[in-house]
Structure 1
Amino acid sequence: MRVSDEDRERTAQQLQRAFTEGRLNQIELEDRLEIALSAKTYADLLGLIDDLPSEQPAAGDVVELESKTGNLKRSGDWNVPRRLRVSSKYGSIDLDLSEAVIAHSVVEIEIDLTYGSGKIIVPEGGVVDVDGFRSEWGSVNTSDLPSRPRPGALRVVITGRAKYGSLTVRYPRRRWFTH
């Protein structure tokens, strides 16, 4: 996914903060800023900051999605916040991150399901940590997705619970085209 000038500037600001905190020296800062200001994709930017501590989200950085009886669905070209809190009492949750705009190297998703089920589709190469998610009467299926952090890969951390429902996390389905 291609980045905007705002994305480049946000990364440059994070690099400058890391320099002022003593996490980067002058040469590292200059090298990374040069790459950041000419970056074309999110992968280019994430590689510059994945060894730096993630910024602590402010209260406004948490997006809450809630439904009592309906289904919650996000897919296509949507902005994924750093922290997402999703709750559904009787409906399902369907979050497709595969085509979304994700400006963070780590996305935290807190889920509260009572009777519904959840499905999260992560971009190819992404890693998923579901160690903080509990299912009382359902199941958690990660389709053998890697959970160990990898340099430059999106890391999705899923916490919360499903009382009677299940959670499935997977990569997008491969599309087969015939000519």
Structure 2
Amino acid sequence: MTSLPEDLPRRIGEGDRDAGVRRLQEAYAEGHLSHEEMDARLHQALTATTHGELVEALGSLPAEPAGTASTIGAVSGRIKRRGVWRVPRFLKVESALGRVHLDLSRAVIEHPVVDIELQLGTGRARITVPRDSTVEFEALRAGWKDTRYRRPGRRSGPAAVGGPTIRISGAMGMGRLKIRHAWR
């Protein structure tokens, strides 16, 4: 029986490729890429099979316009995003009393860095990030409970590299934030 490595890079689908191609076309239209560089990067994006290869094709492009930020808000109740959904470059989540669950494990992440700003009152939050991602949450202020972050370790195998960086900032009132990597 042949065993597979546990830390295979995250494979991308057509949605990821299409988003990468759109980003390259926008950069070309804005004059950030020459025709030759556009052709080379398009070929690289269209033949990419992993998230790391796609990020490499999009590397050194200027930051996207500030208009790509999105806000999700609720006074109470639950905020839940999971499955296949497009993650903006900047995401702000606001909730006074509710629970928040963001699952990025199957989400379409077009950016090498995603900034998530949490503004939560008494509710708790859980964020599941892709297995190959890097997480930074030093800019998050927790009022009552410390953030729990489960890094990939011995039990789940080593973390893959080359995925997006997820930066979490903002303020948590009386709730707790739990961050974990997806199993696959």
- Counterpart check, 1:132 vs 2:144: no
**Counterpart pick for 1:55 among 36, 42, 64:** 64
TM-score normalised by structure 2 residue count = 0.76
* Residue 152 of structure 1: aligned partner: 162
Q: Distance in 2 between matches of 1:51 and 1:141?
A: 33
Measured after TM superposition, the shift of residue 29 of structure 1 is 5.0
**Contact 1:105/1:152 (8 A) holds in 2:** no
- Counterpart check, 1:169 vs 2:179: yes
**Counterpart pick for 2:123 among 112, 116, 123:** 116
Q: Distance in 1 between matches of 2:70 and 2:64?
A: 16
**Contact 2:133/2:161 (8 A) holds in 1:** no
Q: Distance in 2 between matches of 1:12 and 1:52?
A: 8
What secondary structure does 2:106 align onto? coil
Q: Distance in 2 between matches of 1:125 and 1:86?
A: 23
Q: Distance in 1 between matches of 2:59 and 2:152?
A: 20
- The residue type paired with residue 172 of structure 2 is A
**Counterpart pick for 2:87 among 67, 77, 80:** 80
TM-score normalised by structure 1 residue count = 0.78
Measured after TM superposition, the shift of residue 55 of structure 1 is 2.1
Select between 124-133 and 36-45 the one with higher mean Cα deviation: 36-45
* Residue 44 of structure 1: aligned partner: 53
What secondary structure does 1:164 align onto? coil
Runs of 4+ in 1 over 6 A off after TM superposition: 24-27
Q: Which 5+ residue runs of structure 1 have no aligned equivalent? A: 175-179
Measured after TM superposition, the shift of residue 41 of structure 1 is 5.0
**Contact 1:128/1:145 (8 A) holds in 2:** no
- The residue type paired with residue 63 of structure 2 is S
Q: Give per-residue Cα distances to partners, 1:91-146, cap 9 Å, x unaligned.
A: 11100000111111111111011101111000011001112110011211222369
Q: Distance in 2 between matches of 1:15 and 1:110?
A: 26
Q: Distance in 1 between matches of 2:183 and 2:20?
A: 31
Q: Which 5+ residue runs of structure 2 have no aligned equivalent? A: 1-11, 154-159
* Residue 70 of structure 1: aligned partner: 77
**Contact 2:131/2:183 (8 A) holds in 1:** no
Q: Distance in 1 between matches of 2:18 and 2:82?
A: 23
**Contact 2:20/2:58 (8 A) holds in 1:** no
* Residue 23 of structure 2: aligned partner: 11
What secondary structure does 1:142 align onto? strand
- The residue type paired with residue 24 of structure 2 is A
Measured after TM superposition, the shift of residue 33 of structure 1 is 3.2
